[in-house]
Structure 1
Amino acid sequence: MSFTIVETMTSEPPSEHAREHMVAMRDGVELATDVYLPDGATAHSAILVRTCYDKSSRYTALTFEAEYYRSRGFAFVTQDVRGKFRSGGETLPYAHDVADGYDTVEWIIRQPWSNGRVGVTGQSYYGFTTWAAVASGHPAIRAAVPMVTGIDMGAGHVGAQWSQQVPYLAGLNDLLQIWTDHHGYLAEINWGADSVENIVAAARARIGECRAASRMLERSVDQGWYNPYGDRHPYHTTAIPILHWQNWYDPGLAPLGLRDWRHFRSLAGERDLHFLRVGSADHSGYLLEDVGAGDARNPYLSESALAEKIETECGEVADFFDEHLNGVRPSTPRPRARWHVGHVGWQSSPEYPPPSEPLTFHLSAGGTDVHALNRDPDADTTSLTWTHDPDHPVPSSTDIEAIWYLLAAYPDERDLAERPDVLTFRTEPLTEHLDFAGQPVLTGHVSFSAPSTHVFAKLQDVHPDGTTRPISWGRAVLSARAGDALTLALDDNAYRLRRGHRLQLQIQSSDFPHSVVHPGSDANPWLTTQRTPSTHSLGVGGIAGARLVLPTITVTEDPDEEHQ
């Protein structure tokens, strides 16, 4: 079967320390809202989190976070968003969160325990609801910490501009499981078994209509830009301190979040309201340093790992809100940007990306399965070819769910080099450590037989024993109308390639089931069932050959983290 329910997730009971309220929105819909108050009778600043994943669940761990924030003197307010778990209203993502965020904050400041100051935070979709509350412009919101999210998350999730952006099948996977009704579902979905429309229909037959999925497929026809903010888009309306919180190993959302950071730092007036914190972790918070430790270091599964995560991460969030809600100055000035270099440690800088020196590697022909990455270009030019077969796409190296906990299931991708539809380029073993921070950039010329195509690029760390780990990703839609020039900025990372390791670059035209397969035509990839193979050619060698540029940096060593 293409769609099989494994588990139905219903609302868990609120914490004994919470008082649940049904808070009426402007249209009369009531949203389930838990309030956790610190000890003592004084008025408090509030931290608001609005989630679609059940405010009381072990998955969100908000009941555990509440105890920490209470101990720091904050009122902690959590809410099931409209249409989810204990809240009323239609189950539809993005559409109501600006207004509902405003109305919830208005309710908070009218409570006797409120001092009239509110901070908003949350991760992933409830990072989006954080931005939605900021966009609402409520004057009581004094600061925000959006985490592992992006302002325009909805545009890719339910907007489907497939001719401009490689569409994530992982997003539709989430819609069916999270946004069908008030419950949540853990489902096994075999995306290779049938067409997308038929799989959505199979889900409809099992659990009911997912309006978000149906609307996404409808939007894919005209590809209109999806903007849930109306005339309140945060790019133009944000005027409060923001701590942008991202993790490098989150290819689903970190690129959007780092784009947001770059936008706000480009502004003349409000740029100094913005701060950055980026860790060597995946979307779920699993750390690079814990790779190989298994479930014992997974905060979703281990009580000790969760306690450590709360103490560290909630501590940073509370510090930010103490500073900007309560006027508590930090003992040392807050760095503008704080970011982690994998296998080295935390760095801080007045700007991110930090100053860097470009290091160029030329893609060179040679070998059978593996070509070379060299410091000098080949004297002769040549073309390397591969065929994209939509019926036999390059498989993603993890299952579709693992894109959100990539390091917990950190794949060894060595076998991909054996595929004829993957071009692989590799350096010789490094004689010295190589540190970079920012976006690696791939340039070159790619010709293809179809009217358009997808190009995926992946930067990898090849260990001395052959273990091959992904460290940066890039994806692009190319159109024959725009020519064959490729300039592809891969995702940000800050990373040390260690002595004796090799840098590897792979180029391909599919990554299934993480992304929708390009059909080999200009047809809508979400809806078409007609697929045609296409051939691709990459020019290497000479002055115009393909090249990869790394932004190399000098780092401050942290000997305690060198072993990672």
Structure 2
Amino acid sequence: MLDRLVDKVLGLPAAVVPKPVVTRDLVIPMPDGARLLADRYRPPGTEPLPVVLVRSPYGRRGAMGLLFGAVFARRGFQVVVQSVRGTFGSGGEFRAFRQEKEDGLATAAWLRQQPWCDGRLAMAGASYLGHTQWAVAPYLDPPLEAMCLGVTGSEFTTAFYPGGVLALDNMLSWSATIGRQEERFAAVPNPVQTKRTRAAMSHLPLRHADVAAIGKPVPFLEDVTTHAESPESWAETDHSGGLDALTTPTSMVTGWYDLFLARQLRDFKALQAAGTRTRLTVGPWKHGEPASFRPMVADQASWLAAHLLDDRVQLRRPPVRIFLQRADRWLDFEQWPPAESEPRFLHLRAAGGLADERPGEATPDVFTYDPADPTPTVGGPMLTGEAKQHDNRAVEARSDVLVYTGMPLERDLDVIGEVSATVHVRTSTGHADVFVRLCDVDAKGVSLNVTDGVLRLPTGDGIATAEVALDPTAYRFRRGHRLRVQVSGGAFPRFARNHGNGQPTADAVAAVPTRFEVFHDPEHPSGISLAVFG
């Protein structure tokens, strides 16, 4: 009864296996002697079958076993759900992201030696479970039969440090989760703990924010804060270098407010350019949003069926399917970004204007960013807190935020593709970040964030040209609405504050206010570049 209910909620077709056989706590040895535990789900019978491998740091029972074990096994797949090193009974120490290549390859070799495996392997999963796929796929010989990549990327460093700035909210939220996940009742919502974690985002120095949040150190937070100024230390976890040679068919699902969106779209473009069979679905979701589970699981089940069970029906759809926000419709394309989208540059103008026309002579706009009272976060691609779209008017009223607004639109404007900003800026300290956000302003003045980006400026005292990459989007600005661009010195606690003195992110305590000058004149044409569709 429960199985049928789960299948119905997920919108899956009727199961072909009424009751899979489950073998708990398989012991899979690693070359260094560590023993990792896994659960195996299979259809009844003794013949060798391909294996769908799912490697997770979040446990192999509960939601992981349900979504990727039992559900897939009822569709006729043999599934092995493994707890990665140092988690939920598996031996060794959990060092997030840094151990998955060696352990994943050793697991794949062990599986292929088992009499119940026919030698064919595929992988599935989302988020960190997608990272464990990328840690194996470019290096495995023979290659995987298929990859199912939900809300993930071939490297995570650009999500740790977007634009060179520590993504504090997401990093501390995840650290607090993995630091407590094996405690009793950790899965039960705990408002007190949530409040404590959010308060810890203001703790200084940041290297000890984990203790402030959950009362004990979390090695990942130490790692990610300590290396904020040296992201190259994560090179071993970057698997993007093998994209052009990857032959494994891949299917990707992500959301417009997912923290890995930009990386996943770059992965898709690279695979498509290399001729690899790949498809992409982008919906109106944030990371881990329950509304995304149904399309994601259905996508992965159909991709596995196509490449392991020779059910090719679902391969007939176009390779790109995206949701156009505020139009409430899905669109299909042959590539990302769509070939029909054309660039359009809107200039920042005097008196807070935003227009196609190049600016005339104008004095720079000025504001001061104070790390002691940092510009706050409102919405965006967040793991916790107020994610997605929210009213930005309170933030836009602050003296440390510049606002540039266009005229009411005479017709609907669809922006589908990549978005970037060019901001010419000079700072008083030579140590600063630039945050740029695109908003949709309705007739009542409500300003909703659409996409944004941040960049750490190079150290110096001259005029810097900040090329800020905003997240890609697909969004309809309605007739009568106005486009608005915000420019500020940060968005806290989503991004760690810049202390204005060059101190390392992990250890900075003292703070120096920074005066910004934003130029928008004929020699310094600041503005935003949009991909306009149609």
TM superposition score category, shorter chain reference: 0.7 to 0.9
Question: What is the rounded CA distance, in whole Å, between the counterparts of 2:315 and 2:238 in structure 1?
Answer: 39
Aligned partners of 2:83 and 2:89 also within 8 Å:
yes
Q: Distance in 2 between matches of 1:442 and 1:170?
A: 23
Q: Say whether 1:350 aligns with 2:358.
A: no
Task: Give 1:17-36 correspondences, 5 Å limit.
Answer: 18-20=22-24, 21-36=26-41
Task: State the secondary structure of the residue aligned to 1:227.
Answer: helix
8 Å Cα contact 2:434-2:466 kept in structure 1: no
1:337 counterpart (317, 320, 335): 320
Task: Name which of structure 1's ranges 462-471 and 353-362 shifts more when overlaid on structure 2.
Answer: 462-471
Cα displacement (A) at 1:350: 2.1
TM-score normalised by structure 2 residue count: 0.85
Give the Å deviation of 1:506: 0.9
| Percent identity (aligned) | 26
1:316 maps to: 299
**Distance in 1, Cα, partners of 2:472 & 2:514:** 30
C-alpha contact 1:122 1:147 (8 A) present in aligned 2: yes
Tell me the amino acid that sits aligned with residue 282 of structure 2: V
Larger displacement relative to structure 2 (407-416 or 120-129): 407-416
Is the Cα contact below 8 Å between 2:147 and 2:249 reproduced in 1? yes
- Cα distance between partner residues in 2 of 1:433 and 1:226: 43
Q: Give matches, 1:270-281, under 5 Å.
A: 270-281=274-285
- Say whether the 8 Å CA contact 1:246–1:278 is kept in structure 2: yes
One-letter amino acid matched to 2:347: H
Provide the rounded CA distance (Å) in 2 between the counterparts of 1:417 and 1:359: 24
CA RMSD in angstroms, aligned pairs only = 3.0
Q: Distance in 2 between matches of 1:427 and 1:217?
A: 39
Indicate how the Cα distance of structure 1 residues 271 and 331 shifts in structure 2: closer, same or farther if over 3 A, else same.
Answer: closer
The 8 Å contact of residues 246 and 277 in structure 1, kept in 2 or not, is answered as: yes
Counterpart position of 2:510: 530
Within 2, Cα distance between the matches of 1:443 and 1:53? 40
Match of 2:204 in 1: 194
Deviation string for 1:226-285 (max 9, x for gaps)?
Answer: 1235999534653322223321111x221222232334345xxx3333333222211113
The structure-2 alpha-carbon separation of the partners of 1:331 and 1:281, relative to structure 1 and needing over 3 Å to count, comes to closer
Whole-angstrom distance in 2 between the partners of 1:393 and 1:29: 45
The whole-number CA distance in structure 2 between the counterparts of 1:139 and 1:510 is 46
The one-letter code matched in structure 1 to 2:500 is G
The answer to whether residue 399 in structure 2 is matched with residue 415 in structure 1 is: no
- Aligned pair in 2 of structure 1 residues 220, 397: CA closer, same or farther (>3 Å)? closer
User: Does residue 266 of structure 2 align to residue 259 of structure 1?
Assistant: yes
Please name the residue that 1:325 is paired with.
308
Q: Partner amino acid for 1:213?
A: L
The AA in structure 2 aligned to 1:346 is W
1:529 and 1:256 map into 2 onto residues whose CA distance is 32
Distance in 2 separating the partners of 1:244 and 1:18: 28
Corresponding residue for residue 506 of structure 1: 486
SS of structure 2 residue aligned to 1:491: strand
State whether structure 2 residue 353 is matched by structure 1 residue 372: yes
Deviates more, 1:41-50 or 1:427-436: 41-50
Letter of the structure 1 residue corresponding to residue 124 of structure 2: T
CA deviation after TM superposition for structure 1 residue 361, in Å = 1.9
SS in 2 for 1:416: helix
Local SS of the residue matching 2:323 = strand
Q: Does 1:75 align with 2:78?
A: yes
Match of 1:451 among 424, 427, 430: 430
Q: 2 CA distance for matches of 1:237 and 1:407?
A: 39
Most deviating of 228-237 and 218-227: 228-237
Over 3 Å counting, the alpha-carbon distance change for 1:315 and 1:218 in structure 2 is closer
User: What residue is the counterpart of 2:368 in the other structure?
Assistant: 387
Distance 1:406 1:321 in 2: 34
Over 3 Å counting, the alpha-carbon distance change for 1:271 and 1:530 in structure 2 is farther
What CA deviation, in whole Å up to 9, does each residue of 1:370-393 have, x standing for no partner?
x22223244332211111111110
Structure 1 Cα separation of the partners of residues 40 and 357 of structure 2: 62
Structure 2: any 5+ residue segments left out of the alignment?
1-18, 187-192
Distance apart, 1:133 and its partner CA: 2.1
Which residue identity lines up with residue 517 of structure 2 in the other structure? S
Q: Match for residue 283 of structure 1? A: 287
Q: Which amino acid in structure 2 is aligned with residue 101 of structure 1? A: G
Structure 1 unmatched runs, 5+: 1-14, 286-298, 300-304, 555-564
Alpha-carbon deviations, 1:512-556, whole Å to 9, x = none? 1111111112221221212111111111244642222211113xx
Question: What are the within-5 Å matches in structure 2 for residues 201-220 of structure 1?
Answer: 201-202=211-212, 206-207=215-216, 209-220=217-228
| Whole-angstrom distance in 1 between the partners of 2:348 and 2:132 | 43
- Counterparts of 1:75-474 in structure 2, within 5 Å, are 75-139=78-142, 141-154=144-157, 157=160, 165-174=164-173, 176-180=175-179, 183=182, 188-189=196-197, 190=199, 191-202=201-212, 206-207=215-216, 209-220=217-228, 224-229=232-237, 233-235=241-243, 238-250=246-258, 252-266=259-273, 270-285=274-289, 299=290, 309-310=293-294, 312-330=295-313, 333-342=316-325, 343-355=327-339, 356-366=341-351, 371-397=352-378, 403-404=382-383, 410-474=389-453
Work out the CA distance in 2 between the residues paired with 1:443 and 1:551. 15
CA change 1:362–1:469 in 2 (3 A) is: same
Distance 1:98 1:44 in 2: 24
Query: 8 Å contact 1:264–1:274 — kept in the other structure?
Result: yes
- The within-5 A match list for 1:8-47 is 18-20=22-24, 21-47=26-52
Match of 1:302 in 2: none
In structure 2, what is the equivalent of residue 553 of structure 1?
533
Q: 1:358 to 1:154 in 2, by over 3 A?
A: closer
Residue type of the partner of 1:345?
A: R
Give the aligned partner of residue 492 of structure 1. 472
**Contact 1:42–1:113, Cα closer than 8 Å, also in 2:** yes
CA deviations on 1:27-60 (whole Å, 9 max, x unpaired) are 22222211121245444332221111222234x4
Aligned partners of 1:229 and 1:384: how far apart in 2? Answer: 41
Q: Does 1:51 align with 2:52?
A: no
* Alpha-carbon distance between aligned partners in 2 of 1:281 and 1:232, rounded to the nearest angstrom: 24
Q: Distance in 1 between matches of 2:37 and 2:97?
A: 18
CA distance in 2, matches of 1:353, 1:231: 23
Counterpart of 2:11 in structure 1 is none
Instruction: Please say if residues 150 and 252 of structure 2, whose CA atoms lie closer than 8 Å, have aligned partners that are also in contact.
Output: yes
**Of 32-41 and 433-442, the range deviating more from structure 2:** 32-41
Looking at structure 1, the residues matched to 176 and 438 of structure 2 have their Cα atoms a distance apart, in angstroms, of: 31
Partners of 1:64 and 1:487 in 2: CA distance: 41
- State the partner residue of 1:8: none
| C-alpha displacement of 1:116 | 2.1
Deviations 1:442-498 (A, max 9, x none): 123111112231111111122333332221111111114485112223110111112
Question: Are the aligned partners of 1:443 and 1:548 in contact in 2 as well (CA < 8 Å)?
Answer: yes
Q: Are the counterparts in 1 of residues 391 and 447 from structure 2 also a CA contact under 8 Å?
A: yes
Q: Write the deviation string for residues 181-237 of structure 1: whole angstroms up to 9, x where unpaired.
A: 772665522222432134345468x33x42333334443465543123599953465
Match of 2:190 in 1: none
The TM-score, its normalising length taken from structure 1, stands at 0.81
Structure 2 CA distance for aligned equivalents of residues 406 and 496 of structure 1 = 25
Q: What SS does structure 2 have at the residue aligned with 1:271? A: coil
Q: Which deviates the most, 492-501 or 129-138?
A: 129-138
Q: Secondary structure at the match of 2:118?
A: strand
